[in-house]
Copies of this chain bind each other. A is one copy, B any other.
Amino acid sequence: MNVTDKAPEDAPVPRRGGACLKVSQVIGRIGDKWTVMVIILLRQRRHRFNELKREIDGISQRMLTLTLRNMERDGLVTRTVTPSIPPRVDYELTDVGRSLAEPVKVLGDWAFQNLRHIAAAQASYDARTVGKAL
């Protein structure tokens, strides 16, 4: 499915190599849970790499590096290196990144409000599934 099919003026944007960037790819990226958590933290203020690592439960150094590099490439964050010893690296949201913070907040609020529903649905599904397996 390519949502852009319905609006020729917003056809997929050509990229190097002839590939196209689709809405589904953008959603796959920005819906990623690590990206969402970085955005939630950077909404408040700029953060250093190590602050982000400390505040995001369970993220590895490698995954945080990859997440931030993708976000920088997508134009969502800027990376500022201060040549102190040791060098200091700060990340902050760009204007585009900031405009994404609102939709992400709406999604986060929904998730927060529906945690119990979803946990209950999962328990009920698992109970039914176990019942079938017997």
Contact = CB atoms under 8 A, between A and B. Distances in A.
A131 to B, nearest CB: 14
The A contact surface, by secondary structure, is: helix
**Copies of this chain held together in the complex:** 2
A81 interface: no
Interface residues of A, number: 58
Interface in A48-78: 55-57, 72-75
Contacts of A73: 121-122, 125-126
Contacts of A3: 40, 108, 112
Interface in A80-134: 96, 99-100, 102-104, 106-112, 114-126
Interface of A: 1-4, 10, 12-13, 15-16, 21-28, 30-33, 36-37, 40-41, 55-57, 72-75, 96, 99-100, 102-104, 106-112, 114-126
